[in-house]
Amino acid sequence: MITLYDYELSANCYKQRLLMSLLDIAYESIPVDFFPGLEHKSEAFKKINPMGHIPVIDDDGFVLWDAHAILVYLAAKYDPSNRWYPTSNPELLGETASWLLFAEGTTNTASAARLFVNLGYDFDIDACRAGAHRLFRQLDEHLWFREREGRDWVCSAPHPTIADVALFPDVILSEEGGVSRLDYPALRRWTERVKALDGFATMPGIFPLGTS
Amino acid sequence: MVDAQTSWHPIAAADDLPLRHVFHGQLLGRELAVWRADDNFVNVWENRCLHRGVRLSIGTNNGMELTCRYHGWRYSNRSAGCTYIPAHPADAPARTISNRTFPAVERYGLVWSGETPEGDVPTVGVLEEGSPFTLRSLPVNASAEVTFDELRFHTFQPCGAHDHTNATPIISIDQLDDRSIVLTSTSDDLRSTVVFFVQPVDAGRSVIRPVLSHTPDQHEQIVIWRHHALMLASTVARAERVFADQPDPPPMVAAIDEVPVDLRTLPDPSTNRQAPLRVQVSRKWSTATGVAAFELTSIGAPLPAFQPGAHIDVHLSKGLIRQYSLTNGPGETAHYRIGVKLEPDSRGGSELMHQSVREGDVLAISEPRNNFPLRRDSLKTILIAGGIGVTPLLAMAQALHSMDLEFELHYFAQSEDHLAFGEVRDLVAASVTTHLALSPSQTAAAIEEIVRSPQPTHQLYVCGPGPMLESTRTIAARAGWADESIHFEYFKNTTRRDDSSTFEIALARSATTLQVPSGTSILQVLRANDVALPSSCEQGACGTCVVSVIDGDIDHQDVHLNETERAAGDQIMTCVSRATSPRLVLDL
Amino acid sequence: MNAVPDGRCTNAAILNQWHPLVAVDEVLVDEHREATLLGEKLTYTARPDGQILVWRSADSEAVELPIEVDYLCVWVCLGSPPDGLFEISEFRESDRRNVHAGTIGVHVSAPRAVENFLDMGHFPYVHTNILGVEPHTEVAEYEVHIDPQTNDVWATECVFYQPIAATTSTEGQMSDYLYRVPHPYCVILYKTTPMHDERMDVIALFCRPVSADHIQAHMFLSLLDPDNSEAAIRRFQQTIFGQDKPILENQHPKLLPLDPRAETPIRADKVAIAYRRWLSDMGVTYGVIPVGAT
């Protein structure tokens, strides 16, 4: 059984919940009082993750932290289709790695801006927002061309990968950080395609795809 | 200089509006919610729900209506009229709750709109003569003026020369006006022309929307899109640098319309609506034995929104006014569709509709009015139709179907040939049961079976001939249905009416007392004294002329109110009902 | 109109109120921290003896501002302080769980957040499967009055169907609500609890106006819930508020329009209509668009 050390309003924890929901992996969520309790900085928690951050998973004794690393591990181990983290397709694997790196950027800008606004983190908010806009502009153009190629996802495959899962929370929650997506129509369309995936899970702050 | 407020501007690319999407746009500081309905109509609306100001761009487009995310208010395709307010499921929203809409025209692969645009969308010769190919639009953090200025120095390679990155093409400005700049790039014997439109988003933002004059071969398209995106990126960067060095321009503030006075509070259900609409009969056909169907298309202004259960008054020659229910599904707003049964004892209305009204004719109709509102907060809805009474229930069935709510439609008719609107029934076929050629006692038995197990969370809607309504009312009451769970719509009041009484009415708000003599209705007395009151059937069936009663005993002669409502004694149908006490005090 | 160009508030009706600055837990001994209130930066700290001090950061003299400590928050006044803070008597009951569930920043005015808190109609749409679910969408008639003694706005006899009304719920129920607005930027909800017939849970929203269109929302609860951990109670409340936040941030304009013609009310909004009129009558011009301002 996988245990996820979790905080419901964290974009990085949501990445794990989203992937496990998409892959239909059973897991147990252990809530961490991230805010206002700062439980992840406690002595007790540092015995689980000495770095003092979440998410962390414990898969039958194997403990791993860092959001994108956990995505890699979960997809490599639990996706029998080998699509989400395509270890047997070097080109696609390389693309996925490249976009995961890009997602580090969106985490450090768009999601950082959200922490600033919501929870009062001490970041350079103007730099976070400007950085998020720069990356969103690139991603919007990239996804526009993907649509022209008849592709729906960040990587060139006809199916989504963990790169989509890593980027989606940073993008969809950006407005909480004061980063509007009005100028990025292709990015907005892509978020709706992610929401339409089988097994999609939402979180507070993300409107589900409406049906009626 | 052309006035930006009265000009057409591109606001989106046509393919920014895929199925069931709501595009978030902005023009001249005003945010827009732009969505394409399943009938391909492009809606451009103020991005703001009238209720609490929430952006409609976060709402849901189901292909027919846009639903607000906050309270589930539904707004119709085309008219932007509110069709449902879930917090008050038993009420019909006032037809006048409409969002602000802006015109939309698709041209050159772009969607055009404007605040109050005058004339037609301007044409560009080179695109009219060519085969326009829409390039990728780019957002710019600079005013439209600065962006436009920088486009004069823009450069690109003609098609076929995109790998000659070192070759310097010759760029000529073919045309330059307030809205567009036409550039031609020539290199050796290759030439390409691109028209650049600039959308003023707000004081500090704009979008470049380029269109190539000729569509390249399929295999070249990606290369051409990429080349232009790359070249434009440097023009964008230049414009942004120039703009950043300028002092900030004053912000563009788009004024929000005030809500009309009558919407300051919950609308009065008896709002007067006189002005009839003009519609053209765009199609007339026989939909069942003795039933003619009509599609009525607006002349000029778009048709107002309607709710399931609503009817219109059709004004015919000889001063005849008849009510017909709309059979339309949600968002089906390009026309109204009604069914008219030829009544053997017709007072002339159905005969005129059947024999004299033809395709192409113009009819005067009222705006839709709803005295038969559909609740959508029930776990199950049972619809029982007798003959032509199916029409409002078809509209309800489509609304329930589109919201995935459980319902049954039971349709009683003489024979297969008497079943109307097969094409509409097909849309909800899984929930329709037909009951054919039953005797009155068999009908009663079938209804008994249908209403056998009443639940407080279920609702029953019945429409059909008077005797069937009466028997359903009795059967359902016996089965244990609460009065407020059963909803009827009468088309006619066939009960004998007695207008021999005399009494006086006091109008509480205007402190006036009037006499109602025998042979004259309250409605007629009110009108004779310049008290405007809407009415429709004028035989106590439709419920339009309802007035609140503050004091006095009512002699109910209508068929609209149910037993509970009659017993409450606080409303009266002024067209037929009277007083048993010497005086009635009305809330007028 | 209601703020000078640097964003500071000049509206007496708001300046002369107690405002929640921070949770008491966040005030640390000998550590100076800053928070913005009504456009002004304030510094706060606690002395080793526990006494809490607050002063304007720009004030070189560091003159102490009047404070009150109550409901697990530090309250501060930038104008002439009113006599005491509004009373939530349940807070003093010994068997209650009093929880400060966190402070979340929202880009919206305080009155918009208060009005959202007063609203039942959005439960099925925004708090789907928790505080409401379709098709149970009806907002039944309820009563609104203003208490002549305290001048609080009250909405009573509110009833709404809720699938999971609280952390202690196991099934759907018709919840009974009372709403109370004792302060322009604070609102209290009294709610049926699955545990007791007579007594009610208390959930409150105290908004710190950072500026006219930014708040820090303090979520405060006083519950009759012996079983759930404080962390679980906080999580439930943060989930609910996390769902409201994107709605609030998508409202335009961000300031609450007090002119009845600005938006379209329905009967379900009776308490909101009363609240807007009450703000007008009280002379509140900060965080709102006053009648006749446009």
Evaluate whether B287 touches B302 at the Cβ level (below 8 Å): no
- Asked if residues B138 and B230 have their Cβ atoms less than 8 Å apart, the reply is no
Identify all chain C residues contacting B48, using CB atoms and an 8 Å cutoff: 252
Q: How far apart are CA C216 and CA B436, in angstroms?
A: 65
Which tokens in the block code for residue C22?
């921070």
Residue B415: other Cβ atoms inside 10 A: 10
Residue B259 to residues B74, B566, C211, C259: CA-CA distances in angstroms? 18, 35, 28, 10
Neighbours of chain B (3+ CB pairs under 8 A): A, C
> Using an 8 Å Cβ cutoff, are C21 and C40 in contact?
no
* Model pLDDT, residue A188: 97
The span from the CA of B30 to the CA of B25, in Å, is 8
- Set of chain B residues whose Cβ sits within 8 Å of the Cβ of A188: 21, 23-24
Q: Is B21 on the interface with A (CB under 8 A)?
A: yes
Chain A hits for B13, CB-CB cut-off 8 Å, are 185
d(CA A46, CA B559): 75
Which ipTM was obtained for this model?
A: 0.94
Chain A interface includes C34 (CB < 8 A): no
- Listed as ranges, residues in chain B with pLDDT below 70 are 1-2, 94-95, 163-166, 259-276, 317-319, 346-347, 491
Nearest to C85 by CA among C97, C93, C73: C73
Least CB–CB distance from A185: residue in B16, B67, B222: B16
C218 touches chain A (CB under 8 A): no
Q: What is the pLDDT of residue C6?
A: 60
> Which 8-state DSSP code applies to residue A27?
E
Residues 6+ apart with CB under 8 A from C51: none
Question: Which chains does A contact via 3+ CB–CB distances below 8 A?
Answer: B, C
Distance from the Cα of C120 to chain B's closest Cα (Å) equals 9
CA distance, residue B569 to nearest chain C CA (Å): 20
Token pair 């879930």 is found at: B86
Task: Kindly state the average pLDDT of the residues C42-62.
Answer: 95
Please count the CA atoms within 13 angstroms of the CA of B313 that sit on its side-chain side.
Answer: 21
Under an 8 A CB cutoff, do C252 and B31 touch?
yes
Is A146 in CB contact (< 8 Å) with chain B? no
Q: In this complex, which of C125, C253, C261 lies closest to B71 when CB atoms are compared?
A: C125
Nearest to B65 by CA among B89, B33, B106, B91: B33
What SS3 state is found at B9? strand
Going by pLDDT thresholds of 50, 70 and 90, the confidence category of residue A36 is confident
B222 — contact with chain A (CB < 8 Å)? yes
Distance CA(A24)–CA(A12), nearest Å, equals: 19
Question: Nearest CA to CA, how far is A197 from chain C (Å)?
Answer: 20
Chain C residues closer than 8 Å to A117 by CB:
105, 107
Cβ-defined contact of B87 to C138 (cutoff 8 Å): yes
> Measured between CB atoms, does A211 come within 8 Å of chain B?
yes
Within chain C, residue ranges assigned H as helices are 12-15, 110-117, 123-126, 230-248, 270-282
Alpha carbon B119 to its chain centroid, in Å, reads 25
Q: Is the model's pLDDT at A212 over the cut of 70?
A: no
B-chain residue closest to A148, CA distance: B222
For residue C257, the SS3 value is strand
Mutate to test the interface with B, among C142, C266, C289 (most CBs of B within 10 A): C266
Q: Which distant-in-sequence residues (6+ apart) come within 8 Å of B123 by Cβ?
A: B107
Taking contacts as CB-CB distances below 8 angstroms, the residues of chain B near C135 are 86, 89, 376-379, 405
Q: DSSP strand E in B537-582: where?
A: 546-551, 554-555, 571-573, 578-579
Q: Band of the pLDDT at C3, cuts 50, 70, 90?
A: very low
CA distance C3 to C285: 9
pTM of the model: 0.84
b or e along B207-229 (b: 16 or more beta carbons within 10 Å of the residue's beta carbon)?
Answer: bbbbbbbeebeeeebeebbebbb
**Cβ contact C266–B88 (<8 Å):** yes
Q: Are A114 and A124 in contact (CB under 8 A)?
A: no
Pick C249's closest partner by Cβ from A39, A120, A176: A176
CA distances from B276 to B303, B324, B344, B352, B366 (A): 11, 14, 28, 19, 4
Say which of A31, A36, A207 has its CB closest to residue C102.
Answer: A36
Chain B contact set for A206 (CB, 8 A): none
Specify whether the CB–CB gap between B61 and B22 falls below 8 A: yes
Taking CA atoms, A53 is separated from A39, A46, C101, in Å, by 9, 8, 21
Q: Does B470 touch chain A (CB under 8 A)?
A: no
Q: What pLDDT is recorded for position C2?
A: 47
CA B207/CA B201 separation, integer angstroms: 7
Q: A137–B139: do the CB atoms touch at under 8 Å?
A: yes
| Nearest CA-CA distance, residue C25 and chain A, Å | 10
Give the nearest partner residue to A176 out of C25, C239, C246, using CB atoms. C246
User: What letter represents residue C271's amino acid?
Assistant: V
A188 contacts B58? CB cut-off 8 A? no
Q: Which chains touch C (3 or more CB pairs under 8 A)?
A: A, B
Flag whether residue B23 sits within 8 Å of chain A, measured between CB atoms: yes
Higher per-residue pLDDT: A212 or C195: C195
Q: Which of B73, B111, B78 is nearest to B207 (CA)?
A: B111
Contacts A–B by Cβ distance under 8 A: 51
pLDDT of residue B286: 94
Residue A100 CA to residue A109 CA, distance in Å, equals 14
What's residue B535's pLDDT?
75
What is the Cα–Cα distance from B255 to B466, expressed in whole angstroms? 52
Nearest CA in chain A to B405: A212
Is residue C1 scored above 70 in pLDDT? no
Whether the CB of C107 is below 8 Å from some CB of chain A: the reply is yes
- Nearest chain B residue (CA) to C243: B70
- What's the rounded mean pLDDT across residues A159-187? 97
Q: How far, in whole angstroms, is CA C182 from its chain's centroid?
A: 10
Tell me the torsion sign for CA atoms B200, B51, C190, C232. Answer: negative
Tell me the one-letter amino acid at B476: A
For B76, phi then psi, to 5°, come to -80, 145
| Per-window interface: A 116-145 vs B, CB < 8 A | 137, 141, 144-145
CA separation, residue C145 to residues A25, B556, C138, C201, C257 (Å): 52, 36, 21, 21, 21
Q: Are strands B432-436 and B407-413 parallel, antiparallel or unpaired?
A: parallel
Does C238 have pLDDT greater than 50? yes
- Per DSSP, chain A holds a count of helices (H) and strands (E) of 8, 4
Of the candidates C120, C137, C246, the beta carbon closest to that of B377 is on C137
A204 → closest Cβ in C103, C105, C242 = C242
pLDDT the model gives residue B273 = 37
CB contact set of B120 (below 8 Å; sequence gap of 6+): B8, B105
